Homo-oligomer: A and B are copies of this chain.
Amino acid sequence: MSTNDARNRAVTMKDVAAHAGVSRTAVSLVLNGRHDVTLASETRARVLQAAADLGYRPNAGARALAQQRSDWYGLVTEIVTAPFAVEVIKGAQDRASSDGKYLLIASTESDPVAESAAIERLLEQRVEGLIYAATWHRAVNVPEIAREVPTVLVNCFDAEGRYPAVVPDERAGGRRAAERLLAAGHRRIGFVNLDPGIPAAVGRREGFHAALREAGVEPDDLLEISGHATAHGGFDAAAELLELREPPTAIFCANDRMAMGAYDAIKERGLRIPRDIAVIGFDNQELISAYLRPALTTIALPFEQMGSVGVDLLAETTAGESTDTKIVTVDCPLLERSSV
């Protein structure tokens, strides 16, 4: 057990040096494992022993000040409303810590003023870079102040392309969903899409169509509905689809919440999933998709990976290896469960 606690003045390098009978420099060198300078291995051992004896703990702030380098990245996100934010954080944190960097997380509520203030705070802490993450894929306006430090966007992008960004490959995801359904033999596939215009709706639809055409199926407008992106929206849209003269044998819901609603509409009609009608979702919102009956086959949004790729991009930029504002796209894998 260490000998210092919050009450006693913390053990410093000076104490360690004194205890080991060496200079502060020596201590610093040893403790930082600097092998570019050669020191007597006996000295090294003495220092290590002294540090252990005294329960020495480096002061990260002091080191940052001396080195002019904080080892911190700031992550700003709308944490409150975001079941997804957690995954981005997880991915970013893991990746960052493998680089010896830490994450300072600032949550905002998409209030631009609060957002700028939050970033200001991060800059006062001298973060070396910023990750700006959105909860749904879209164009964003990053506060100007973010330009003072390398910044990368996650699950969003700058309308004028001024920042590097990482976003999900919506198109490939839509294609993958369609292909899965086609592979199961479906030809009449209903599509319950999100609000038209947003990147997720556009991309998923494009991929969906591309896959259909490649399989020789012409997309049918009658089978496509844009619903309100909730369970209720999914319920209504699915109900509409099922009332068609020639109803689809499968439904692709552009998110899991709508799929949840579609399940209800389907079950209400006494139909069985997937025997009578197959359903595939998008997002992989675990809480829903894993617990629906039957469990929902869906396309996952790779939040964790986006977080980690975001940090990669940031590391590159910080290191000055690259200053171009490329947009990296990450794949949306299929999660096979039991609804197809």
Chain A residues within CB distance 8 Å of chain B: 1-2, 4-6, 57-62, 64-65, 70, 79-80, 82-83, 85-86, 89-90, 93, 102-105, 107, 120-121, 123-126, 144, 147-150, 230-232, 235, 257, 260-261, 264, 267, 285, 287-288, 291-293
Kindly identify which residue among B57, B70, B90, B120 contacts A79, using a CB–CB cutoff of 8 Å: B90
CA distance A41 to B212 in the complex (A): 73
Contacts of A85 in B (CB 8 A): 86
Asked whether, in the complex, the Cβ of B86 is within 8 Å of the Cβ of A102, the reply is no
CA distance A253 to B226 in the complex (A): 35
Contacts of A120 in B (CB 8 A): 57
Q: Copies per complex?
A: 2
CA distance A46 to B85 in the complex (A): 43
Which A-B residue pairs are the 6 nearest by beta carbons?
Answer: A231-B291, A60-B124, A61-B61, A287-B287, A60-B125, A264-B293
Apart from A89-B107, A232-B293, list 8 A-B contacts with CB within 8 A.
A6-B150, A58-B124, A79-B89, A86-B86, A89-B105, A285-B287, A287-B287, A288-B291
Contacts of A264 in B (CB 8 A): 293
Q: Please list 21 pairs of residues, one from A and one from B, whose beta carbons are closer than 8 Å in the complex, sorted by A's number.
A: A2-B148, A6-B148, A6-B149, A57-B124, A59-B126, A60-B125, A60-B126, A79-B86, A80-B86, A80-B90, A83-B86, A89-B105, A93-B107, A102-B104, A104-B104, A231-B291, A232-B291, A235-B293, A261-B291, A287-B287, A288-B288
Closest to A107 in B: B93
CA distance A107 to B87 in the complex (A): 11
Contacts of A70 in B (CB 8 A): 61
Contacts of A59 in B (CB 8 A): 65, 124, 126
Closest to A109 in B: B90
CA distance A265 to B120 in the complex (A): 52
CA distance A147 to B257 in the complex (A): 44
Contacts of A121 in B (CB 8 A): 102
Residue among A85, A102, A257, A291 with the most chain B CB within 10 A?
A291
Contacts of A231 in B (CB 8 A): 291-293
Contacts of A292 in B (CB 8 A): 231
CA distance A123 to B90 in the complex (A): 21
Contacts of A103 in B (CB 8 A): 105
